[in-house]
Amino acid sequence: MFSLSHSFSARLSALFLVLILGLGVSLTVLTIQSMVMFNEETEQKLNRTLAHQMAMEFAPFVQDSVDHESIEERIAYLTGINRRIEIYLLGGDGMIKASFIHEGQELKRDRIDTAPLEDFVAGKEVPIAGDDPLSPDRRKPFSASRISMMGMDGCWLYVILGGQEVESTAGMLRNSYIFKTTLRGLLLILLVAAIVGFVLFYWMTGRLRSLSHTIQEFRRGKTAARSRVSGQDEIGVLGQNFNEMADTIVANMEDLRNTDRLRRELIANVSHDLRSPLSTIQGYLETALMKQDELSRDQLREYLDIGLKNTSSLNGLVSQLFELSKLDAKQVEPEMEHFNLAELLQDLVMQFGERARQAGVELELEHPGELDAVYADIGLVERVLGNLIDNAIKYTPEGGKVFVKPANTVEGVRIEVRDTGSGIPEEDLPHIFERFYRVEKSRGRGRGGAGLGLSICKKIVELHGSALSVESRPSEGTAFGFTLPRATMASA
Ligand code: ADP
């Protein structure tokens, strides 16, 4: 998997090397340049008065004409055999009148620009470069002095310093011990930097490799793989982001799996719940048809009654399913309005009064005093409360009590439907809001519920921005509750 040419650390190291190499080369060039300039500067400084001294020495030999021989002698006397300078006598306009150069050398100019010479004698700061008569374009450090020549004032004695030996910088460098040592040092530094750089970058990219390994594992299906890369830097943040993304993907997968399971359960439940009333209806109708002559009027009436009851329970189931699917698809838009909850509660208690009496259960509305108006969909709230009261009566044995208890709270108006009924076992509590969930399958069926009521209630309460809570103790009772937004709060 790991290839050196593709590795990030190798690329980083290469980049680092190139940078260091560039830096090294620029530094070397800069050092050489400044070395050459420093050389020239020192040379010129040391020889500032050279031309002047020579001019004084040569003065007698240039009075009427230039006495070459005598001057050569003087030069040999002054500089020794191995001289490093070239000497020229120039007219005031820079024209070369006489030259004292080495054998084999050839003049390439006949005139010199005198501006740098003027600067030199004026004492301007050195280095100043002047035209080299031995080259058409080269400039070199020099020493210069005014000299009177052949009766003319304002002529020049022009001395090119350094001469041949400094001619080639490369030559000079080749022979320079300091330069060779510096070059060797530079190469060594480069080598060390390359090794250190590679090791350092390999170490630094280790976290990236570890992250990449984790991502690969995750991709191959190991969904528990998480990055252990720590730190607050970019790689650390990348690791954390990957972990969060992986958590989301896993949660989504779990959701999808759950949805799929629920869908399958729903189809199984729906078909089961539809089938049993349908087959009951079919059975009774068939019997009534077959035995219509033998059956008494009362028996026939009873059969039709059973058929009708099952039809209406079927009808109820289908409308509940329809309602739930609309809530699921978020197609139910609550029509929010301000209304007085106390009136709605009174109506509901009146409405369920008869049912409660028949079941031998006492249904009571506890008045808390002045109730704040709420902001909610009155029809949907009635649907929830109706379902909760109906359940409370259904699951409370004769002699029991059902209380409807509203109260103003900080969050809004809270309504509780509490009963002294059978209660819900602890292990069933987390599931009662699931669709088709019944605590005691046979008991629930006997009382006609399909296990959809609480799922619908939960969704409606959530539509109002609240949550349906439940508290229950087996054989002591159950309390369902939710909070509705206060009218002033919601409309503010
Ligand atoms: P159902 O239509 O069967 O009543 P629900 O969704 O309304 O379905 O309720 C789900 C289950 O929760 C019921 O089967 C019942 O076992 C339990 N339950 C609901 N309300 C109460 C209550 N007040 N007391 C005891 N059990 C209850």
Q: What is the pLDDT of residues 164-205, one digit of tens each?
A: 544 555 566 666 777 788 788 888 888 888 888 888 888 888
Average pLDDT over residues 437-442: 74
Judged against a pLDDT cut of 90, whether residue 425 lies above it is answered with: yes
CA dist., res. 154 & res. 140, Å (int): 22
Q: Of 35-39, 161-165, 371-375, which has the strongest mean pLDDT?
A: 371-375
Tell which one of 452, 454, 458, 460 to mutate to probe ligand 1, the residue whose CB is within 8 A of the most ligand atoms.
454
Distance 438 CA to ligand 1 centre (A): 6
Mean pLDDT of the chain: 87
CA dist., res. 244 & res. 218, Å (int): 13
Q: Residue 23: its pLDDT value, please? A: 85
Selected residue with higher pLDDT from 17 and 395:
395
**What sign has the CA pseudo-torsion 327, 333, 335, 340?**
positive
Tell which one of 313, 355, 391, 429 to mutate to probe ligand 1, the residue whose CB is within 8 A of the most ligand atoms.
391
Helix spans in 124-233 (H): 169-174, 177-204, 206-219
Distance 465 CA to ligand 1 centre (A): 23
Tell the residue nearest (CA) to atom 23 of ligand 1.
392
Task: Answer whether 453's CB lies under 8 Å from 391's CB.
Answer: yes
Q: Residue 445: its pLDDT value, please? A: 44
Q: Residue 406: its pLDDT value, please? A: 96
For the chain, domains (ranges, CATH) are 47-166 (3.30.450), 235-328 (1.10.287.130), 337-491 (3.30.565.10)
Tell which one of 432, 469, 471 to mutate to probe ligand 1, the residue whose CB is within 8 A of the most ligand atoms.
432
Q: Is 432 in the pocket of ligand 1 (CB under 6 A)?
A: yes
Q: Closest ligand 1 atom, CA of 452?
A: 6
Task: Answer whether 142's CB lies under 8 Å from 118's CB.
Answer: no
Please report which confidence band the pLDDT of residue 444 belongs to, taking 50, 70 and 90 as the band edges: very low
Q: Residue 29: its pLDDT value, please? A: 84
Q: Residue 384: its pLDDT value, please? A: 97
Please report which confidence band the pLDDT of residue 122 belongs to, taking 50, 70 and 90 as the band edges: very high
Judged against a pLDDT cut of 80, whether residue 10 lies above it is answered with: no
Please report which confidence band the pLDDT of residue 448 belongs to, taking 50, 70 and 90 as the band edges: low
Q: What is the dihedral of CA 251, 252, 254, 256, to 10 degrees?
A: 170
Distance 412 CA to ligand 1 centre (A): 26
Q: Closest ligand 1 atom, CA of 454?
A: 6
Selected residue with higher pLDDT from 50 and 484:
484
Q: Residue 6: its pLDDT value, please? A: 64
Selected residue with higher pLDDT from 296 and 175:
296
Report pLDDT digits (tens) over 26-70.
887 888 788 778 888 888 888 888 889 889 888 888 888 888 888
Q: Residue 37: its pLDDT value, please? A: 81
Tell which one of 384, 387, 395, 456 to mutate to probe ligand 1, the residue whose CB is within 8 A of the most ligand atoms.
395
pLDDT above 90 covers a percentage of the chain that reads 49
Q: Residue 230: its pLDDT value, please? A: 83
Q: Residue 447: its pLDDT value, please? A: 54
Q: Is 273 in the pocket of ligand 1 (CB under 6 A)?
A: no
Q: Closest ligand 1 atom, CA of 451?
A: 8
Q: Residue 380: its pLDDT value, please? A: 96
Distance 409 CA to ligand 1 centre (A): 27
Phi, psi of 484 (to 5 degrees): -105, 145
Average pLDDT over residues 243-251: 95
Q: Residue 73: its pLDDT value, please? A: 85
Q: Closest ligand 1 atom, CA of 477?
A: 24
Selected residue with higher pLDDT from 442 and 15:
15
Q: Residue 428: its pLDDT value, please? A: 92
Tell the residue nearest (CA) to atom 14 of ligand 1.
438
Q: Is 388 in the pocket of ligand 1 (CB under 6 A)?
A: no
Reduced to 3 states (helix: H, G, I; strand: E, B; else coil), residue 18 is helix
DSSP assignment of 426-459 equals TTTGGGTTSTT--SSHHHHHHTT--S-HHHHHHH
